[in-house]
Homo-oligomer: A and B are copies of this chain.
């Protein structure tokens, strides 16, 4: 048994797959891929340099290609679609869920989209047309339209017979949805209730009426929050009039959670969650160049501040030696506060009502850590350059910068969010600009006043 599970470990699979790739063992590749789930294949393809990725892509079983395309990151998807002709693309999308198909369509060549819509049956085209208008990152974009609906006035026995005749229940179905004659949402009928209640009871008697549906225009991250808070497996989606339009399943929500977490993590380094580790060098370079350019401007600003005190540094070169310490301690302390606040923002834990208390707490923490480390730095610097005054001045500068760091780390993400900017992306740059400028200015300014 343990062996069977061991085999599942993605890193090991990756290693053995690389083995097949390097020896050009297409048979081995094909066997390995046949054994993998679409999401695993997606992760594998993302981990390969472009040429190997396309080589592996050729060996993916054709019945999996659609699902894999739906799972890989946008940029990888485009390179894969580029290798397929119209017939292959149409075949790949045949068995996809409507929500996945709707996500794929924008990346498809125009003639394929036309052909797809033409070959679709009426019901599927209608379903697709329900989903297409909603943005990808809304409840409408996340939903599937394979909901099984029942009416409230029938008996469970009728429902049971209907299901048996139907013969197939969509994956991840934990509830049937109860609607009225006009398709308006009324409540849920958990399929476990079907199994435990008497068949002669009516749907109305056992259905759950208290469960609020999700509005189709709800943002994806809000959908994720609702699923997490209520431990949902699926949720019904309604339009603005309360009419049932589909349902969201937990597997799509898990993807949202993962993407949003990646977004914050990658955003702090100026990258996007879609970043392809083996993107062409030129593409990667260009994207990262922008971020380096932004940071360069803040570095020049800091340099300009130092330049103001050129004469002071000329007289006391110890200042040049010590000044990075002041800036760096501010940056580190500030980014701790910043990270804490950004996480709390993502959880919806910060509002006008507790922001002041949080600021107060962070300022106190900054002040206390300022005291501790200012003392340490003062002693080391004082001994190193044999100057009590230098020690005193760096201590004051550190104190100032750590308090400013706490203030900036709290206020910057709140302000950025209010301005509609993404704190995870812009917060770090703005913060280090502040802590660099304040750090250099405080330290060199005080030295100019008191030391030279």
A377 close to B (CB within 8 Å): yes
B324 touches A302 (CB 8 A): yes
Q: Which residues of chain A from 305 to 333 have any CB-CB distance to chain B below 8 Å in the complex?
A: 306-307, 310-311, 313-314, 317-325, 327-329, 332-333
B5 touches A212 (CB 8 A): yes
B354 touches A47 (CB 8 A): yes
A415 close to B (CB within 8 Å): no
A277 touches B344 (CB 8 A): yes
Contact of A228 among B258, B270, B275 (CB under 8 A): B258
A158 close to B (CB within 8 Å): no
- What does DSSP make chain A's interface, helix, strand, loop or mixed? helix
B11 touches A278 (CB 8 A): no
Which one of A12-20, A111-119, A120-128, A129-137 is at the B interface?
A: A12-20
A242 close to B (CB within 8 Å): yes
B349 touches A14 (CB 8 A): yes
A389 close to B (CB within 8 Å): no
B344 touches A328 (CB 8 A): no
Chain B contacts for A257, CB-based, 8 A: 254, 257-258, 261
A195 touches B37 (CB 8 A): no
Q: Which residues of chain A from 334 to 350 have any CB-CB distance to chain B below 8 Å in the complex?
A: 335-336, 338-341, 343-344, 347-350
Docked Cα-Cα span, A328 to B328, in Å, equals: 10
A328 touches B251 (CB 8 A): no
Contact of A306 among B8, B292, B321, B354 (CB under 8 A): B321
A-B contact pairs, 6 of them (CB 8 A): A2-B240, A39-B228, A261-B262, A292-B332, A320-B320, A324-B327
